[in-house]
Amino acid sequence: MTISLRQAAGELLVVGLGGTELTGLERAWLKLVRPGGVILFKRNIVDAAQTRALLDEATQMCAPRTVRCVDVEGGTVNRLRDALAPLPSAQAVGAAMRDLHKPTLAREFGELIARAVKVFGFNTTLAPVIDLALPEAAEVLGSRPPGANAQDVIAFARAFFAGLATQGVVGCGKHFPGLGGATGDTHFVTPEIARTWQQIWNEDLVPYRELHAEMPMVMMNHAAYPATPGGNRPASASDFWITKVLRKRIGYRGIILSDDLEMGGILKFLPVEEAAIAAVRAGSDLLEICHSAELILRSYEALVAEAERSAVFRKLLLERARSTARMRARLYAKPAPRALTAKQLDALRAQILKFRDRVAASEAAAIDPRAAAPAEIS
């Protein structure tokens, strides 16, 4: 497959949009960049018909087999809450699985989320969170992790991924290598997680080690782990964490996605141009930039310029774009499903609310995050 440097740079980007309709400026830069993916937020979503129309128009100007992604984890992170229905948190569903001895609840949860995101035209949900619910991060992560130990997280995530798969929706395990020990929020700072390599390998990374063949996509976080060989470098820009640990030691073969490169956790360490180049060098396949057209274009031009300057990086960029395109072609081979009728949409909403009621007692005991970060509410 012949591909230009500009095509290669664009295909590694997953971009956000400003509103519920494309602007003329967005149409212009989408045609220039031709990104590999689009991510929408609450600010972009009114209802299913409008969202599908927005995605359809945007992806006509993107690379083939576009990643159409949204954050629907349940609980506090659910971009479809207002447009469809609130969902219980992963922590509530995990607790209900254990308390009610119903291991199939997470599979049912995954299937409901998959059906919901498909209605709106998405093919990917950036879930589940498989961080451990450790005390250090309780106020930062809140009810997002499904359990406090690796085995509970594995049981939830395996069933959740299976539920997504029944509907042909791609899931994403996050946030590698684990935010369970984070006392700071990567939206604002680069947390320095004090856990040792042995703690991380024997606890935080166990879900990735067990489930790596079942996860189509993994998201890298922007935390640093100074007590490990990764040092003070954010994991999203670290060859140690991405290539040496995730790819080689764990053997992961799916898509590696950076968390949003606009977040303080990475921008306080590197300018966005350098962060994009560092993430590709370290081994990421896709780079999220969720809000600013300026930062999207700066990152895109930086990748192209570095490839023109360095023969080594040029070869890497072209190879990464080709391999990522092959993975997208495999994951997104089927066309978007047909829209539901109003009656079918109401039936799905009723099923979601009924499911929420079944786990409501557990959800009432879950911890909410200390403060809603912009990326969680926008």
DSSP 3-state percent helix, strand, coil across the chain (nearest 5)? 50, 10, 40
Task: Please give the chain's pLDDT, 378 residues, in tens.
Answer: 689 999 999 999 999 999 999 999 999 999 999 999 999 999 999 999 999 999 999 999 999 999 999 999 999 999 999 999 999 999 999 999 999 889 899 999 999 999 999 999 999 999 999 999 999 999 899 999 999 999 999 999 999 999 999 999 999 999 999 999 998 888 888 889 999 999 999 999 999 999 999 999 999 999 999 999 999 999 999 999 999 999 999 999 999 999 999 998 888 889 999 999 999 999 999 999 999 999 999 999 999 999 999 999 999 999 999 999 999 999 999 888 888 888 999 999 999 999 999 998 655 544 555 444 444 545
Q: Is 187 considered catalytic here?
A: yes
Q: Is 259 considered catalytic here?
A: yes
pLDDT of residue 246: 98
Active-site choice (187, 212, 222, 291): 187
**CB count, 10 Å around CB of 330?**
11
Q: For residues 98 and 152, is the Cβ–Cβ distance under 8 A? A: yes
Torsion of CA 75, 81, 85, 89, to 10 degrees: -10
Which of 275, 283, 221 is CA-nearest to residue 246? 283
Cis peptide before 335 (omega within 30 of 0): no
Which of 321, 235, 244, 225 is CA-nearest to residue 279? 235
Provide the strand spans (E) within the chain.
13-16, 37-40, 67-70, 72-74, 77-78, 124-125, 172-176, 217-220, 255-258, 286-289
**Residue 365 tokens, joined:** 């005991």
Predicted TM-score (pTM) of the model is 0.95
Active-site choice (259, 260, 285, 291): 259
